[in-house]
Amino acid sequence: MSVEKIIKENPYLQKLLKTMPEDVKQRAVLKEFFPTDILLKKDEEVNCVYLLYSGTLRVINEFPNGTVYGFAYIDSTEIIGALEILAKEKKIAATVEAVTHSIALRISKEDFIKWFESSIDFTMEMAKMLAKKFYPTVCKNGEVFMNSSIYSLASFIIRSVEEDIKEGKTGIINKKRQYIADELGVSLRTVYRAIKKLKEDNLITVIKGKIHVSREQYEKLAEIIHEYI
């Protein structure tokens, strides 16, 4: 598959890439990724962006203690890595890996900056992309995830059920409430309140005292956490 072919097959990309300088277009490389392949790695140097054409990607955050949180899925046209470059940050904020077979256009950091600075149309489009991405975060100010204990519980739930969700199962947490409280470093009362709030917001289901999480609920939790951070 060529760059020309993906442009023809996708009206949005066709419109977007019209603003790209010809020499930048010539240097852009079409890359193919398979499940678990890494596009961007947290804390590595930012040297390119990826314009997703097809497939599904997952944004994950890795911590020094080995904990890995899956925060969001990307399955629509988006420029990955642009935020770090535009913010003039040297390191990648979060790891991005392929969930399904994916195709993306790789553009070097220098060429992305050249494109951004040479086309007012592209600059406006990037502004719209970022505004659309961060608007929900502003709307959620003061809501459930501003409560750090609820955020911690949601992160714990995502980590606990991730493997079940990957296998197409409903995630079930068998841990006692006291265990969860000890794990999170909060009181038992706080855990009960947080579970009640997540249940009221339909982000989890509680059956006979056990926390159940469907694929849809898992994705909602991941999206909200990603927007919160």
DSSP string, 44-106: SB--EEEEEEES-EEEEEE-TTS-EEEEEEE-SS-EETHHHHHTT-SB-SSEEEESS-EEEEE
Same domain, 116 and 198: no
- CATH number for the domain spanning 117: value is 2.60.120.10
Residue 138 has pLDDT above 80, yes or no: no
What mean pLDDT comes out for the span 4-20?
82
Structural domain for 67, as ranges = 3-139
Residue 170 has pLDDT above 60, yes or no: yes
Q: Which of the four pLDDT bands, split at 50, 70 and 90, describes residue 184?
A: confident
What mean pLDDT comes out for the span 131-159?
68
Give the number of C-alpha atoms closer than 13 A to the C-alpha of residue 228, restricted to the C-beta side: 21
- Count up the domains in the chain and report the number: 2
pTM score, whole prediction? 0.62
Gyration radius of the chain over CA positions: 20
Considering the chain, what percentage of its residues have pLDDT values greater than 90? Answer: 52
Same domain, 192 and 169: yes
Same domain, 134 and 155: no
Residue 71 has pLDDT above 70, yes or no: no
Per the model's pLDDT, the better-predicted residue between 224 and 57 turns out to be 57
Residue 95 has pLDDT above 80, yes or no: yes
